[in-house]
Amino acid sequence: DVKVTQSSRYLVKRTGEKVFLECVQDMDHENMFWYRQDPGLGLRLIYFSYDVKMKEKGDIPEGYSVSREKKERFSLILESASTNQTSMYLCASSFWRSSYNEQFFGPGTRLTVL
Amino acid sequence: KNEVEQSPQNLTAQEGEFITINCSYSVGISALHWLQQHPGGGIVSLFMLSSGKKKHGRLIATINIQEKHSSLHITASHPRDSAVYICAVSSPYSGGGADGLTFGKGTHLIIQP
């Protein structure tokens, strides 16, 4: 069974802390994505990666960075967490050659920044 | 950039009712996706379609490419169908790069016993 896992389901951090969210997929997918989901706004793309050490900005990259040192792992980093980064964070992956871009999602991490 | 609109935003219905959720988009696409998100967060793909109609159990998805419109239908709805249903499109015009999806804001469906 295909699987995308995320390091935490729930996370509480303080303003100014450095936060790492980890995502691992076991499907040998080239593409990996980080989204945030907020009520009334839907899912918005933060960053994506199409290969190891490659990254591209999405629609809302400000305040975030990413790291992809291994094909199966994609990390989202909040350098200095702020309260407006309280959100649900979802990771997804897909095959690079998928014409239709079917993405497989992780369970999500609900991050609260106090 | 593609704009994806879903309606209704919220829908409450009685068990057994026929449900329709609509999705429209603004520019040409390579595929349209219907996703389901249960409370707790995980998102699963229900359908991926580029033309015509697909059926899986009590769920039916249709797409009209000329009108840039898709519908998701649930027949004989059940309380376990309660979830957020999300429409997403993939196209060269999607924000976030060639492989990005553009998402609608979702439809929150509640089926009451």
Tell me which chain A residues have a C-beta less than 8 angstroms from the C-beta of B34.
none
Cβ–Cβ under 8 Å, residues A1 and A68 = no
Q: Say if residue B92's pLDDT is above 80.
A: no
Q: Say if residue B25's pLDDT is above 60.
A: yes
Give the closest of B35, B48, B100 to A45, CB-based. B100
Give the closest of A42, A56, A107 to B105, CB-based. A42
Give the closest of A56, A98, A105 to B97, CB-based. A56
- Mean pLDDT of all residues in B65-73: 96
pLDDT tens column, A4-22: 999 999 999 999 999 999 9
What pLDDT is attached to residue B27?
82
The alpha-carbon gap from A17 to the nearest alpha carbon of chain B, in Å, equals 24
What string of DSSP letters covers B28-83?
--SEEEEEEE-TTS-EEEEEEESSEEEEETTEEEEEETTTTEEEEEESS--GGG-E
What pLDDT is attached to residue B97?
46
Q: What percent of chain A has pLDDT over 70?
A: 93
**A27-A32-A38-A40 Cα dihedral, nearest 10 degrees:** -90
What pLDDT is attached to residue B98?
47
Contacts of residue A31, Cβ cutoff 8 Å, sequence gap at least 6: A48, A49, A50, A93, A94, A95, A96, A103, B99
What pLDDT is attached to residue A50?
87
Q: What percent of chain A has pLDDT over 90?
A: 72
Tell me which chain B residues have a C-beta less than 8 angstroms from the C-beta of A48.
96-97, 99-100
Q: Say if residue A58's pLDDT is above 90.
A: no
Tokens 């691992």 belong to residue: A24
DSSP-assigned beta bridge partners for residue A87 = A111
Q: Say if residue B95's pLDDT is above 50.
A: no
A106 touching chain B per CB within 8 A: yes
Residue A31 to residues B28, B40, B58, B86, Cα–Cα distance (Å): 23, 24, 32, 21
Confidence of residue A102 (pLDDT cuts 50, 70, 90): confident
What pLDDT is attached to residue A2?
66
What pLDDT is attached to residue B39?
84
A11 touching chain B per CB within 8 A: no
What pLDDT is attached to residue A101?
64
Q: What is the 3-state secondary structure (H, E, C) of A17-51?
A: CCEEEEEEECCCCCEEEEEEEECCCEEEEEEEECC
Contacts of residue A62, Cβ cutoff 8 Å, sequence gap at least 6: none
Binary contact (A45, B50; C-beta < 8 A): no
Q: Say if residue B23's pLDDT is above 80.
A: yes
Tokens 């309260």 belong to residue: A83
Q: Say if residue A112's pLDDT is above 70.
A: yes
